[in-house]
Structure 1
Amino acid sequence: MSEVRLTMRERAALLVLMAEARELTNAELHQLAGFTVDGDCRRRLNDLGLVVSTKAGRAYVHDLTDEGAVRCRTELSAERPPRAGYAGGALYVVLAGLRRHLEATGGTLGELFGADLCRRVETTYRTLARRPGDPVSLRVLREHLDDVPGDRLDLALTTLADRPDVHLWGEADQKSLTDLDREAALTLGGSARHTLVIEAAP
């Protein structure tokens, strides 16, 4: 797979998905890097098994596959592509420096480009909520993020709670809570919070 020649745009798409460590819509790609993955670019990355693109409504959401992650690692040692331009040339100098750093420290790309947990919590909430502003129980949220240690998830939720559009509420009807609901609660300001609410974007 590493012998397959990719265009600069295709390489750029892989590297952005690697660096963000999460699914990205075309709108997010454009906002972050100034381009989208569509048309021949999307089809080729999908056919090569480097990116999975799924329809979310009328928009595509793109995610790096394991094969795509392997290809990103090979890019750290790749020569500068022909006609890469100034920015592309500088990028490959930076990638080579990154390779030297990882070799010297024994680190991995996964450690360096870990997913933004706050963003992952928000993405999971929007998947579970029927519409923005609907409550999602922390018990259900934790079940869908069961690979995240509880203390790290608590920290992410506490960080999100500082935003004006994010609310962590306690359940008024305590009798409706199960033991699992109580175990999943987050203590904030001295009181137990059982529900996450994220308002719709303005």
Structure 2
Amino acid sequence: MSPRELAVLLTLLAEARELTNAELLAVAGVTLDGKPRLRLNALGLVESVKVGRALVHELTERGVEWCAAEFARPRPKKSGSYGGALYAVLAGLHRHLEASEQVLTDVFVPDVAGQVLRKYAEITKGEPDQVRLSELRIRLPHIPPADLSEAVMRLADRDGVHVRAEADRKTLTDDDHAAAVVLGGTARHLLTVEAVR
């Protein structure tokens, strides 16, 4: 496995979600295209689907199994100091999983709150502006509604994050009502983040 292919597999594992090449680049500084993509697809480790103009990549069950086996492998020769450190971390995770009788999917779960904050920053261009929760739901269609609501409620506990009710209730659409989260007995429709982090 090439370092690039390994980086893609481990990134898809850690993110626990589908990623476009743009997202892979933002998260790990790597993309999956050309021969490496064809190889990982042919091996059944990654499934790649064209969505609009973007390729979306997802780790398969076989890919998760491959990663689990990689955690137990010794450090490859000529892997350098970063590779050595990576394989030391993988070995430590492997020991933890063995001792706790857990599997990789118990450890690596989607960072829904992080996805919400990244999408908020994209919509507002990093400014502390109000964004409707209904717009976030539309822009994050891969996140189940209940998971997105839970993430927004957890974010509301952070300093500088505000989840507010729309003052002019006449402007609320059916989508706004469906996307609302209830905090303190009040339906909230708007997210504001003072400092996107």
* TM-score category (smaller protein): 0.5 to 0.7
CA contact (8 A) 2:165 2:186 kept: no
CA contact (8 A) 2:21 2:32 kept: yes
Q: How many angstroms does 1:33 deviate by?
A: 2.5
CA contact (8 A) 1:51 1:62 kept: yes
What is the correspondence of 1:9-28 to structure 2 with a 5 Å cutoff? 9-28=4-23
**What's the secondary structure of 1:81's corresponding residue?**
coil
166-175 vs 20-29, greater mean Cα deviation: 166-175
> Could you tell me which amino acid in structure 1 is paired with residue 154 of structure 2?
A
Match of 1:187 in 2: 183
CA distance in 2, matches of 1:176, 1:90: 51
The CA deviation string for residues 134-160 of structure 1, in whole angstroms up to 9 with x for no partner, is 84549x78x96256396x345235258
**What's the secondary structure of 1:17's corresponding residue?**
helix
Match of 1:145 in 2: 144
1:170 to 163, 166, 175: 166
The CA deviation string for residues 144-186 of structure 1, in whole angstroms up to 9 with x for no partner, is 6256396x345235258945xx8644373469788xx489542
Distance 1:155 1:20, change over 3 A: same
> Could you tell me which amino acid in structure 1 is paired with residue 188 of structure 2?
R
CA distance in 1, matches of 2:26, 2:172: 43
CA distance in 1, matches of 2:118, 2:57: 14
What is the correspondence of 1:114-133 to structure 2 with a 5 Å cutoff? 114-121=109-116
The CA deviation string for residues 25-63 of structure 1, in whole angstroms up to 9 with x for no partner, is 323323333322111111111222211223344332322
CA contact (8 A) 2:153 2:181 kept: no
> Could you tell me which amino acid in structure 2 is paired with residue 170 of structure 1?
E
Match of 1:113 in 2: 108
The answer to whether structure 1 residue 83 and structure 2 residue 81 are counterparts is: no
What TM-score, normalized by structure 2, do the two folds share?
0.67
Distance 1:53 1:156, change over 3 A: farther
CA contact (8 A) 1:25 1:61 kept: yes
31-40 vs 154-163, greater mean Cα deviation: 154-163
The answer to whether structure 1 residue 155 and structure 2 residue 150 are counterparts is: no
Unaligned runs of 5+ in 1: 1-5, 126-132
Q: RMSD in angstroms over aligned alpha carbons?
A: 4.0
Number of residue-to-residue matches in the alignment? 181
Q: How many angstroms does 1:71 deviate by?
A: 1.0
Unaligned runs of 5+ in 2: 121-129
CA contact (8 A) 1:161 1:167 kept: no
1:97 to 86, 92, 97: 92
CA distance in 2, matches of 1:97, 1:40: 32
Identical residues among aligned pairs (%): 41
What TM-score, normalized by structure 1, do the two folds share?
0.66
Match of 2:125 in 1: none
